[in-house]
Each structure stands twice: as C-alpha cells, then as structure tokens.
Chain A
Amino acid sequence: MESGAVVRGAARPQRPRSLRARFGNLLSFRWAAIALILIGWFVYYPIVDNFIVSTTDQDIYTGEVTNVGLANYDRLLHDPIVLVALWNNCLYAIISVVFQVFGAFLLAAIIEDLRSERWRRLWRAIYFVPSAISITVTGLLFYFIYQPQIGLLDAALSRVGLSQLVMPWLGSEHTAIYAIIAMSQWQGFGYSTLLFAIAIQKIPRDLYDAATMDGAGSLRRLWSITFPLTREMTGLMIIVTIAGAFQVFNEVMVMTAGGPNNSSQVLGTWLYQKAFIEDNFGYGSAIAAVIFVLTMLTGAAQLWYTKRRRVQL
C-alpha cells in the first residue's frame, strides 16, 4: 500500500477499558475531596441541621430537646411580626429593584452616553464610592444623619424651610423602615450602576451607530438597543437584589434593631431576636428555613431567566 493512502472501512479495534480508565473519574474526585468536605461540613450540614432544629424546641440552658414536628412552622404562620417582617422584606425588595436595578440602569446609560471618557470615569467613581463603605459603617453614619434635631437631614430640612417635615425618622413607626431602605439604596446604587456600566460597555458601538443611521434618537437607542442587550444583567440584578432583600440584617440591626415597636423588623432581625435574644432556636430555625427557601426560589428563577434570555453579542 502506498504511503498516504486512505484506508476506508477499517474499524479501530476495541480495547477493553482498563480499571483505571473506568474509575478515573471517581479517582479524580480525590482532588476535590477537601473542598467537598469543607463545603459539606460548613454549608450543607448546617442547612440540613437547621431544618432538623426547626422541628424541635430546644432549651439552650438545660440542653433539653423536644421534637415538636411542624409546630414552629404553624406558629410562624400565625405570628403577626413575621407578617410585618415579610412585608418589610418585600418592600425592601420592591424599592431596591426600582432604584438599584432600573434607576441604576438609567444612570449607567446616561453616564456611558457621555462623550468624554474622563467624565465617564469620574461619574462612575463618584457613584461607586458609597459601595466601598461597609454597610455597618454606613448604617451608623445614617443613624446620625437621621437623628432628630441634631441630625443632618432634619437640619437641612429646617434650613430650606421644610421644618414641617422634620421628624424622628428612625423613631417613627411610619418612617423607620423607609429610612433604612433609603440608606440602603444610597449604599448599593453605585455598585449596581457600575455593573450596568460594564454591561453597556460590552455592547458594540457599531450597533448604536447603525441605530443612529436608522434614525433612532437617544431614547429610542436606550429602549431598542441598550435595554434589550443588557436584559441578562437586568434579570440577574433583579434576582440578586430580591435575594439580598430577603437576607437583609446588618443595616436594620445597626439602625433600629427592628423597632420602634417591631415596625422595621425584617425576617433576619426577627430570627436573631427569637433565636439569640429569646433563646428559641427551634422557632429561629424555622424563620431561617423560610429565608432559605425564598432565597433558593429567587436563585432558581435567576438560573431559569439567564438561560432563557441570553442574547449573543
């Protein structure tokens, strides 16, 4: 046979797979074993254990554990503060989506539309700075800003002739949760803006030029090009923001600890109150389980959404 000739139809001989080849995949797990053990021990075991604890009544002093079945969940359904906390979490999520997703998207689009790269960088930096501050520090900062009489906000209102609006922002049942949410928007707005700015930068400039040639003005380009092509990021941000809203704890704890009169309770602070202040770990774990399920649902929604709406640039 001449060299280089192509042999057709010759089947490659089948060799039996070696034991090593068969178990190669299994053996490769040893490299991931340490990480798996750590994750299993510190993440998955506590989750499972939390569900077990939520079906018990535990006395932290005597160590006595009583199995109560789903009683803690039944109690949770009839707890009026849980409803207040859940509503506050929802409020937190809705307002955060409006400001930190759609507001941040608009702001990022405006910044990225600026012609000067220098100005774009400056505005991105200005909006991002609050995100670099710890939420606890920001909470303390706003605690002073919201102080009645001596706080910056009331002082500013008085100075501009709006003294009728002066009030104890964190001391009023009607305003406490809104004051906390407002602080949270201030803190998280820049980060969301930056993420949207990155998503917008990924859109090829030629698309905007083509749209301009097609007669699209700024608003039309925003609606027909920028918005659909950042849809993946928008979806992701909505879900991350909602998930974050159900996990909120620090800022509420620092600023009001859920008060006054439980008006600013969220699920996280109510869990803390029940488990660590009132030593009711079973009930606290049931609240934690609810937070877990809500977060998991938003996570699943995130996966589903990003898979469905991906636009290839």
Chain B
Amino acid sequence: MTDLTLRQIRKSYGSVDILHGIDLDIRSGEFIVFVGPSGCGKSTLLRSIAGLEEITSGDLCIDGEIVNDVPPSKRGIAMVFQSYALYPHMTVYENMAFGMRIAKVGKAEIDQRVKQAAEILQLTKYLDRLPKAMSGGQRQRVAIGRAIVRNPKVFLFDEPLSNLDAALRVATRIEIAKLKESMPNTTMIYVTHDQVEAMTLADRIVVLKDGYVEQVGTPMDLYKKPGNLFVAQFIGSPAMNIVPARIETAGATTAISHIGGNKVNVPLPTPASAKGAAVSFGVRPEDLFIVTGSDFLFEGKVDYVEQLGEVQLVYVDIGRADLPLVTKLPGNVEVKRGATVRLNTNPDDLHIFDADGCSVLQP
C-alpha cells in the first residue's frame, strides 16, 4: 500500500516555470488521471514523480519518505511510455527481463515473472519476437508487461493509448481498467489529454492548466460541479455552452439574464451585493432541449446539424458569431438546418461563474 504526496512541486527550465507549486495527496491503490491541454505540465509532473526530471523545489513523498534524490529505479515505480519505448534490438522476453537482470534477480525468478506477465497479457507466443514484428497494441502490452514484472508500488502511464487507432484504444483502455482491478493495491497515475480516458478510468481526475492544478475530484464531481470555467469547458464533449450574463435579482433565488435578454431563476441564494454582477452562464449540450412554448431561454436558427446516429449535435446561432450554442438531441428528432428553434433548460442544470471564471453557484 503506497501513498504519494506532492508538496509544492515546482519545475523550471531556466527562467521558464513549468509547474508552479503542485500540492496533491494520492491515496494508496487509487487510479489518478492527470488531464489537461498540451503544454499544461502533466507529462512533466509524471516524469518528476518517476524521477526522470529533477524537481526544482518541493517535496515528493512516497509512503511518507521524501524521495527527491532517490534514483528512478529505487522508487518502486514503473512507467509505460507513450512511444512504448521498447528496446528494438531485444526480444519481448529480453525487454521484460532487462530491468530484473540489472537488479540481478535470479534466472528462474526472471523466467517465472516474465512468463506470468506474458500470460496475463496474452503475450506468451510472442516472447521470442522483436518489437518490430508486433502490432501497436501488442507492443503496448509488452510495455505494460515490462512494468508489471517489476512489481511496482506505483504505476505511471504517459499517454499510453495515443499511438493506437480508435478501436484498439477502446480495447486497450478496457484492458488497463481490468489490470487495475487485478492490482487493487497498486497506485496508478495516468496522463492523458483525452477526457474519455480520464472519465472512464479515473478514481479521481487532476485537471491541469499552465502548470497549475485547476481542480481535483471524481469524474462525476468534475462533470457536475466544475470549479471554474476552464474545467467546465475542458471536461465534457462537446464542451459546455458558456454565455455572458448578469445577475438581475439576488436573494433566496437568483434571477439571471443572459445576453439575449431572457431571464432564468436559479434556485440558489446569492447575497444582495451580487445584484448587477457580470457572470457567465454555463449549460451542457445535453441539458438544453427544444421547446415550443413561450417559456424558453434561447432562440436562434439551426446553423448546422451533426448526425451521430444515436444522438445529433445541433449548432444554434443565437445572433452572436462568437457564441454558437450546441445542443445534444436524440438522433431520431427531426431538426432542419435554417429552422428557428427555442431552447430551454432545467434551472438545476445551470452553472454560474463569476467574472474571474470561478464557479459561484452550483445548484
């Protein structure tokens, strides 16, 4: 059982700061996913935990012990790389045995551990092959096998599925989820920019942006209660619709009007001083629905329809080119391009953000 604690982790390259004091507690056996856009520092953070990057300041603790100066191989950590990083001149067996040979593990034990991992990952018949003779998915399994044989306390994955095609990505994602289930005591940290991977795999997600942690929480926490505008728009596909708005009435319930002028009453209290404050108004595409009556929030023309079969994404022009609204409707609802539609939402599904982008009201 291994706890991981990051205290004020900073990483700079010269004068460029990449990580700005990351604080994080990872509990033993957790599956943590670092997610964020390119350049947010998620891979740097992962490499710092691995020991492949020297942290500029702060403390990294594994089981309460500071490991800043402990070499990567002594941290009890194994890593699966984005490019697989298999040694091209070694067979699958040799790739998996390499670390143990360096650690001077006995031949019989190496053999037993490699064969056991190969069996779990269905690689037994490929043990004598070179990586170049294997498919992307098989190579990825070898990379995972190489990590498994080391019996790590912490498993690190650096965008392990990004080189696989769509179908294989789904299959490998499920394999990783099953692998985690079979290793309940092993802590896993997984880096991705794919929110589907993050949502489906994580016990908790850490959203990073520009070297800062934006929010930490369970996938549904982040989805239902995003802490700020960035998280609100980053988690969920298509992204949450954000519309500038103003608080018209503060009090036990809050009335908000958006740029189109229509008002909505949100069942949450706000202080009297909030009246007139500029806010942003967020609603997820699946929470918007077409209405025909006079009680509606937005009115606009259907600009484009993306039919995905089970659902369709309807892009509605509400008169602001910079604010196209997206709504996710069932695939069998007939929506014509150019038609005028009225959209409404349940007030409970609204997200309100203050002028700084922080979530102020969460029904």
Interface residues of A (CB under 8 A from B): 204, 206-207, 209-216, 220, 224-225, 228-229, 231, 311-313
Say if the beta carbon of B19 comes within 8 Å of chain A.
no
CB pair A228–B72 under 8 Å, yes or no, is no
B73 / chain A contacts, CB cutoff of 8 Å: 212-216
Q: Given the known A-B contacts A206-B81, A225-B87, A313-B88, are A212 and B132 also in contact in the complex, defined by CB atoms under 8 Å?
A: no
CB pair A204–B83 under 8 Å, yes or no, is yes
Which residue, A204, A214, A224, A229, has most C-beta atoms of chain B within 10 A? A214
A225 / chain B contacts, CB cutoff of 8 Å: 87
Assembly CA distance A313 to B87 (angstroms): 9
Assembly CA distance A213 to B152 (angstroms): 11
Say if the beta carbon of B236 comes within 8 Å of chain A.
no
**Beyond A213-B72, A215-B103, 13 additional pairs, beta carbon < 8 A:** A206-B81, A209-B47, A209-B52, A212-B52, A213-B52, A213-B77, A214-B99, A214-B102, A214-B146, A215-B73, A215-B99, A220-B102, A313-B88
Q: Given the known A-B contacts A213-B50, A215-B99, are A204 and B85 also in contact in the complex, defined by CB atoms under 8 Å?
A: yes
| Chain A, residue nearest B143 (CB) | A210
Assembly CA distance A285 to B86 (angstroms): 53
Find residues 34-66 in chain B having any chain A CB closer than 8 Å to their own CB: 47, 50-52
Assembly CA distance A210 to B77 (angstroms): 11
| Chain B, residue nearest A214 (CB) | B99
Report how many residues on chain B are interfacial, defined by Cβ distance under 8 Å.
26
A204 / chain B contacts, CB cutoff of 8 Å: 83, 85
| Chain B, residue nearest A210 (CB) | B85
Say if the beta carbon of B78 comes within 8 Å of chain A.
yes
Q: Given the known A-B contacts A220-B102, A224-B98, A312-B132, are A213 and B79 also in contact in the complex, defined by CB atoms under 8 Å?
A: yes
Say if the beta carbon of B89 comes within 8 Å of chain A.
yes
CB pair B81–A209 under 8 Å, yes or no, is yes
Q: Given the known A-B contacts A210-B79, A220-B102, are A312 and B88 also in contact in the complex, defined by CB atoms under 8 Å?
A: yes
Find residues 145-160 in chain B having any chain A CB closer than 8 Å to their own CB: 146, 150
* B51 CB, nearest partner CB in chain A, Å: 8
CB pair B81–A229 under 8 Å, yes or no, is no
Offer 29 A-B interface pairs, CB within 8 angstroms, sorted by A. A206-B85, A207-B85, A207-B87, A209-B79, A209-B81, A210-B85, A210-B146, A212-B52, A212-B71, A212-B72, A212-B73, A213-B50, A213-B72, A213-B77, A213-B78, A213-B79, A214-B73, A214-B98, A214-B99, A214-B102, A215-B73, A215-B99, A215-B103, A216-B73, A216-B102, A224-B98, A225-B87, A311-B88, A311-B89
A312 / chain B contacts, CB cutoff of 8 Å: 88, 132
Q: Across the A-B interface, give the 10 residue pairs with the lowest CB-CB distance, nearest first.
A: A215-B73, A214-B99, A206-B85, A210-B85, A215-B102, A228-B89, A312-B132, A206-B83, A206-B81, A311-B89
B72 / chain A contacts, CB cutoff of 8 Å: 212-213
Assembly CA distance A313 to B150 (angstroms): 25
Which residue, B73, B79, B89, B102, has most C-beta atoms of chain A within 10 A? B89
Find residues 75-103 in chain B having any chain A CB closer than 8 Å to their own CB: 77-79, 81-83, 85-89, 98-99, 102-103
* B249 CB, nearest partner CB in chain A, Å: 58
